[in-house]
Amino acid sequence: MRRPKKPHGQFRMSQLVTTYGPGASADLPKHSVLIGGLEQWTPGPAVAEPRLVAKIQQLFPDLQNIRLHAPPPAVDDEDEASSGVGVWLFPEWFLTVTNMAPAGAQVRSRRLVHRRNLIQGKYQDDTRKKHEVVPVRFVRACVHGHIDDIDWYRFVHPPGDECRRPLWLDERGTSGDVSDIIVRCECGRREPISTATVRESEALGWCVGKRPWLGRNEREGCSQKYRLLIRTASNAYFTQSLSVISLPDPDELVGKAVDAVWEDYLQYIESKEELQRDRQRKEKVMRALDGFTDDQVWGFIQVRRSGGRADRSVKQQELEVLAASGAESGVDRPEGDYYARAVPAGALKGKHIEALEKVVLVHRLREVQALVGFTRFEAMAPSTDGELDAGVQRAALAREPGWFPAIETRGEGVFLHFRNDRIDAWAKRPAVVERRRALAAGFDAWLHDHPQSRRQFCGIEYLMLHSLSHLLITAVSLSCGYPASSIRERIYARPEGCGILLYTATSDAEGTLGGLVEVGRNIDKHLAEALEVGRLCANDPVCAQHEPSDPHEQRFLHGAACHGCLLISETSCEMRNDFLDRSLVVPTVGGDGAAFFDLDGA
């Protein structure tokens, strides 16, 4: 491990949570490294967010006293006592920069050499000439996150052959494609790199569980086959993170409302139906519980009687607070975590507003995101409830983690709360039921190609809201002052209610410019623009008529969706651009009649 007096490179604090966490490969100015485990990090300031800690505790039930800390801040080059993030040199095999093939040869040959054979960081040939080297771009890894250098001698030679003559990488053509690269030994044996790309190939051997980011000899049991990995490829590292919006405790809000009428009325309630009758007939109960749904109130009554607190998902708690926002929620101060105001019902006008129950202007919000693990080769997105699967094998950030890196950002947003009756009536239409069948068939085809995945179909309500969210992000980015890549989404599709939160959150003041709050005040205008954009795609009719289960296109998680219409920056999308279909939102040239908004009849 390198613990230099002066840093070899720098990352932004947010990058250490979203991109370059423990186990990630990074190219520094003079070295290629793996970011070390949390034991090699100096924790930054503590980050307080009890709800997020509770969710992490569910993923790691054996850990005690879990803490959240910011990543180490930038270190001063002149401060020899400062420390930050430790790194490990990886890979340990290098290639000469210069082409060492004979003049006139139709191939580019470069010497493949191990770190221990370098002299002062350079390769010295038989004539004592020194050559610059670069790290080899090919390594081997498995789906459990383990990673290791390729055993190049074993790759070229059959079992039992102990030849250790010099190795070369021969490249034909100029594309750098693996089909044009051959590993050659001076004994005469050759093996193309493409051998390792064949599905179920054992060319790279079986994984031995190496975790070099945690220590030189750190490993764990594994039964996977090694797969070829280009260390700088996009599938080399997928972070697994949990995030929450810092909101007032929903139990505290509904609790105050229930307490106001508990002694006289609610303590005698025996069923949700009786609660509904009291809310309709008794004015005091109606006023006290205004803004809360029957499910919220009845749920709190049951929790209060049992003396416990129901375990709810991240998004369920957020939805309860956002949906209950009244004329003013939270505290309006510059450093505040949450402040929101609902747009008065009379101020909402337009032909699309009838689908909305409420529009909430979130003037201030705080988001906390924590890194809890990572995967390689395949990203594992959270569920639609914002939860990570506790049964998934994620690669560890430390041998014995006692803390997790987290970042807090502040910004603003707008929340659209949809009417449940409109969503339910739409979901029951025959055309929507048929469209759900087609989209579910696509998901089943995807699951067939990913048998180890624990992912579940998201549901037709989520698909519609998710697709509308992407259309809105594209539309509002043209006028709200934020680029589309800076606007993020949270989709709520639950039995208690449905909604979309569009928000922006940054580590500085740029996330509170007021542009998204202004969007909420003119939401019908922006909805109309978003729906009009969604009606026609530059790739229609191919896009609109795409069949999700088509094995030739291999776009199993998309309906009418492509880069020309719905796909946006993955930093904005909570599902990594999966589960999208604009035909559920607006009529398209596909004409299947499943659109939530009937623009032609409006």
Tell me if 83 is assigned to some domain. no
Q: Domain check: are 172 and 288 in the same one?
A: no
Last residue of a domain, one of 305, 323, 341: 323
In the structure, what pLDDT confidence band is assigned to residue 1 with cuts at 50, 70 and 90? Answer: very low
Last residue of a domain, one of 272, 299, 323: 323
Distance, in Å, from the CA atom of 294 to the CA atom of 533, rounded to the nearest integer, reads 37
Query: In sequence order, which residues have a C-beta less than 8 Å from that of residue 398 and are 6 or more positions away?
Result: 22, 37, 38, 39, 214
Residue 602 has pLDDT above 70, yes or no: no
Q: How many CA atoms lie within 13 A of 249 on its CB side?
A: 9
Tell me what pLDDT residue 601 has. 53
Q: Domain check: are 150 and 186 in the same one?
A: yes
Distance, in Å, from the CA atom of 405 to the CA atom of 15, rounded to the nearest integer, reads 11
3-class SS of residue 25: strand
Residue 203 has pLDDT above 90, yes or no: no
Tell me what pLDDT residue 308 has. 47
Tell me if 495 is assigned to some domain. no
Q: Domain check: are 126 and 202 in the same one?
A: yes
Span 387-409, mean pLDDT? Answer: 85
The pLDDT tens digits for 546-593 are 999 999 888 999 999 999 999 998 888 988 899 999 999 999 987 788
Tell me if 602 is assigned to some domain. no
Residue 350 has pLDDT above 90, yes or no: no
Distance, in Å, from the CA atom of 490 to the CA atom of 560, rounded to the nearest integer, reads 21
Q: Domain check: are 225 and 258 in the same one?
A: no
Q: Domain check: are 199 and 276 in the same one?
A: no
Tell me if 344 is assigned to some domain. no
Q: Domain check: are 251 and 225 in the same one?
A: no
Tell me if 270 is assigned to some domain. yes
Look at 41-45, 76-80, 556-560 and tell me which has the smallest mean pLDDT: 76-80
Domain of residue 157, residue span? 93-206+221-230
Whether 413 contacts 362, CB under 8 Å: yes
Q: Domain check: are 171 and 196 in the same one?
A: yes
Tell me if 342 is assigned to some domain. no
Of 334, 568, 549, nearest to 447 by C-alpha is 549
Residue 327 has pLDDT above 80, yes or no: no
pLDDT mean across residues, the chain: 85
The pLDDT tens digits for 467-518 are 999 999 999 988 888 888 889 999 999 888 899 999 987 655 455 566 888 8
Whether 419 contacts 519, CB under 8 Å: no
Q: Domain check: are 201 and 253 in the same one?
A: no
**Between 514 and 323, where is the model more confident?**
323
Q: Domain check: are 263 and 225 in the same one?
A: no
Q: Domain check: are 256 and 176 in the same one?
A: no
Residue 450 has pLDDT above 70, yes or no: yes
3-class SS of residue 244: strand
Q: Domain check: are 166 and 255 in the same one?
A: no
Tell me if 526 is assigned to some domain. no
- Continuous H helices in 270-399: 272-281, 283-288, 294-306, 314-323
Computed over its alpha carbons, how large is the radius of gyration of the chain? 28
Q: Whole-structure pTM over 0.85, yes or no?
A: no
Last residue of a domain, one of 323, 339, 355: 323
The pLDDT tens digits for 183-192 are 999 898 999 9
Percent of the chain with pLDDT over 90: 37
- 3-state DSSP helix/strand/coil percent for the chain, to nearest 5? 30, 20, 50
Q: How many domains is the chain built from? A: 2
Tell me if 313 is assigned to some domain. yes
Query: In sequence order, which residues have a C-beta less than 8 Å from that of residue 481 and are 6 or more positions away?
Result: 513, 514, 515
Query: In sequence order, which residues have a C-beta less than 8 Å from that of residue 184 and are 6 or more positions away?
Result: 109, 156, 167, 168, 169, 170, 190
